[in-house]
Each structure stands twice: as C-alpha cells, then as structure tokens.
A and B are shown apart, each in its own frame.
Chain A
Amino acid sequence: MMHRFALALACCLSAALTAPALAQTVAAPDPGVRTFRVDDSGTVVLDPFLEMQWQPSGPAGASNIVSASTRVSVQLNLATWVGQVGRIYMTLPRSSGPTVRASWRTGGGLLAGSLISGERALVYSGPIGSPILRDIIDLRLEVDSARLAGPESLSFGFEIELAP
C-alpha cells in the first residue's frame, strides 16, 4: 500500500513539474455541472486550409508525424453567462479520420494547452466578466502521416461549464 501511494504521489509530482502552465485536458464533465455550447461564430481562422509538413529530421531521422500551424482569432459570446463563474473548454470531436493532436499558445486571455481529438481542454476558468472573450491563439496540428489519406475537416468548438 505504501509503495502504491508513493508511486501515485511521484506520478502527480512529475505531471505538476512538467506541465504547470498548460491547460488541463479533461475527458468528461463533472457530474452535476451544467454544460452549454458557446457561440464562437465570431472566431476567424487565419488560414483554414493547411498542407501538412514533415517534421525536422533531427537525430532520429525523418518522422512519420506531419504538422502545420495557423493562427486563430477566437471570439466567444458569453453574454448569457456574465456574472457567473464558469470553466470554458476547447473541444475537438473524434472523427473517422486520423487522430489529431492540437497544441496552442495564447495571448493571455485563454490558457495554452493541448488536446487529442476526442478530448477537451480547459482554456478559461473564473468569473465571466465580459459578454465577449477574445484572444489570439497560435494553433499547431500534428497527425500520423500514414493515416492521413485525404483531406480532413477538423471542427473545433467551445463549451462552458457552470457550477451547480
């Protein structure tokens, strides 16, 4: 038992040390919370059509992972929830295509982070003080090249959780 406890503690410490500033990836909402889709129709993708590129070869030789980056001007309509406290997540639904890893840096209004398709990641937590939340995110997408047979459309979204 002691051994198992020590192992779990070490695991948590390791996670905390390696990614303290990144957004938390959460698979499922907590029970009891209310979850709503956020209107992000004001969001604009700088280049929504990306041709994936091979990664730098480095000492391991060429990689099977291909990647591409773009910039997204995020605009979330939070008018409905002004004055409440909430958590906002970015989502990327799983599709029949290859698994995609998305990682991003932000301008500070949202949290930086990463997610795998099928997951969601926390990008904001706290009081909703303004009807519109804006930020610029630099989004990087990675995928296993051998599984990218044809063009794949990735539909990102946002959802908000309100405390019960």
Chain B
Amino acid sequence: MNSRYVPAFAHALRETALHNPKFRIGAGLLALFAALVPAAPAHAYTITISSGSRAIYLQVGQGGYSGTHLNGGTPGNNGTVNTVSVSVPAGVVASGTAQQMTSNSTVSQSPIDGFVFCSPPSQVYIGAWSRPGGTSSGVATLTVTTPANLTSGSDTIPFSQISWTMSGIGDTVFQFPNGSFTGGTQTLATFPANTWKEQCMTFQYANSVLPAAGTYTGRAVYTLSLP
C-alpha cells in the first residue's frame, strides 16, 4: 500500500530540487558528507588463483623434470632420443604374427607426483601439459610425424607396420588414442588450457611384409604446439 505513495513523494522532491537552488546546494553538501564518512570495514578476504605463466612441456621416454611437479619440481630439457626395437627371427619374418617391441626408456614414474605408471622397457612414457597463461584459452596440439618408411640402405619397410597401444598401471582414463604410424603427421591429442595428459605406449611391429635382411631405422618426432 505504501509503495503507491512513494512515487508521488519522490516526484515532489524532484520538482523542489529543480526549482529551489537552496535545496540543490543542500543535496550537494549531503553528497560531500557521504564521501567523507570513513569506509566501512572490509567484509571479505580475497584470494587470487591463477594457472601460472605461459608454458608447455612434452616428455616422450626420458624427460627433463627435476623431481616431481607436486614437490616443486620444474621442467627442463632432455636431449635423449629413446629407441624402440625388435629383432624378428628369420623363421617368423612376414608370418603376420605381431612382434612386441622393447625400448631403452627407463621411465616408470609420472613426473606429476612420482606415481609408478609405466612398465619399461616394454612401455614408453608419454606426457605433456599446456599452460596458456594470461587470459588465453589456447588449445595445444600434440602431433607425431614419421617418414613413409623405415630404411636400411635402399631397402624399406613401411612405417605403418608399427603400431602402439596406450595404457598405464591401473589406468582407467585413456587420454591418447591407440594407432599406427601413417608416414606423415598425425594428431594424437589436443590439450585444453592447463591440462596434463599422460599415458604409456607399447609398440608392436605388424610383421606382415617380407623385407630384405637388415637393420631398419626411422624416427618418429613428437611435437607439442601452443598457438
């Protein structure tokens, strides 16, 4: 009920202010007084959270972390290029029976917290994180690039003969797909802002071609990029 009268009262005040200079001065003094009143006590405590400065990190096999991330470890460079290999006995070459490959990687622990995640030498750790920093929400991309063939002199084996399976000790979340090399650039994963993904790769040689005897080599290059 009262609210019906308030607009009329307010209207009357506006009329008075417009036509009575003294009232307008009074209103100005009131505003000044309000500005001089000491501020009321703060009613909140504030905490600012952030994801940190812009950075990315990629580890395939041996890595560059000093300690573990959760214990204050920091990422660094490691120039090691790990090798994955298999020797196929002459009697089973081209039998179509896949041959499991082994690596010279010794990494078993996650650099996040030291959790024993991978089982070398049959498994190779792969993990990466992206932190766009600032106000960016950029998505990082992990790719792997291979040539068309493994080579031994002029002899070749298609790189597509090699495939991988992703897993990890107690793993239930698969963050990278299983696949086989295509002899080109393949996208393995994307990383939303502030994401860490990790897995363990087990490589297999399909053994479905009959190449000349020899040692065939090729290099897979993993790249993490953030726009």
Residues of A within 8 A of B (CB): 37-41, 43-45, 48-64, 66, 68, 70, 72, 77, 100, 139, 141, 143, 145-158
Q: Which residues of A sit under 8 angstroms from B42, Cβ to Cβ?
A: 39-41
Closest to A72 in B: B45
Q: Which residues of B sit under 8 angstroms from A53, Cβ to Cβ?
A: 69-70
Q: A142 CB to closest chain B CB, in angstroms?
A: 10
> Does residue B34 face the partner (Cβ distance < 8 Å to A)?
no
B49 touches A40 (CB 8 A): no
Show 14 A/B contacts (Cβ-Cβ < 8 Å), sorted by A.
A41-B42, A50-B47, A50-B48, A56-B115, A57-B112, A57-B115, A58-B115, A59-B172, A148-B49, A148-B50, A149-B136, A151-B49, A154-B48, A155-B44
Question: Given A51-B52, A61-B171, A61-B173, are A40 and B194 neighbors across the interface (CB < 8 Å)?
Answer: no
Q: How far is the CA of A45 from the CA of B43 in the complex (A)?
A: 14
Task: Identify which of residues 40-77 in chain B touch chain A, using a CB-to-CB cut-off of 8 Å.
Answer: 41-52, 69-70
Q: B111 CB to closest chain A CB, in angstroms?
A: 9
> Does residue B2 face the partner (Cβ distance < 8 Å to A)?
no
B112 touches A43 (CB 8 A): no
Q: How far is the CA of A64 from the CA of B110 in the complex (A)?
A: 15
Q: How far is the CA of A145 from the CA of B98 in the complex (A)?
A: 40
Closest to A153 in B: B48
Question: Given A54-B69, A54-B196, are A145 and B51 neighbors across the interface (CB < 8 Å)?
Answer: yes
> Does residue B135 face the partner (Cβ distance < 8 Å to A)?
yes
Q: How far is the CA of A155 from the CA of B194 in the complex (A)?
A: 23
A146 touches B192 (CB 8 A): yes
B113 touches A48 (CB 8 A): no
B199 touches A56 (CB 8 A): no
A62 touches B175 (CB 8 A): yes
Closest to B192 in A: A146
Task: Identify which of residues 124-162 in chain B touch chain A, using a CB-to-CB cut-off of 8 Å.
Answer: 127, 129, 132, 134-137
Q: Which residues of B sit under 8 angstroms from A56, Cβ to Cβ?
A: 70, 112-113, 115
Closest to B42 in A: A41
A57 touches B50 (CB 8 A): no
Q: Which residues of B sit under 8 angstroms from A59, Cβ to Cβ?
A: 169-172
Q: Which residues of B sit under 8 angstroms from A154, Cβ to Cβ?
A: 46-49
B52 touches A45 (CB 8 A): no
Question: Given A39-B41, A39-B43, are A61 and B199 neighbors across the interface (CB < 8 Å)?
Answer: yes
Q: Which residues of B sit under 8 angstroms from A146, Cβ to Cβ?
A: 192-195
Q: Which residues of A sit under 8 angstroms from B193, Cβ to Cβ?
A: 145-149
Q: B140 CB to closest chain A CB, in angstroms?
A: 12
With beta carbons under 8 angstroms apart, the residue of B48, B110, B195 that contacts A151 is: B48
Closest to B136 in A: A149
B115 touches A41 (CB 8 A): no
A51 touches B195 (CB 8 A): no
Question: Given A66-B194, A77-B41, are A156 and B46 neighbors across the interface (CB < 8 Å)?
Answer: yes
B46 touches A45 (CB 8 A): yes
Q: How far is the CA of A78 from the CA of B97 in the complex (A)?
A: 77
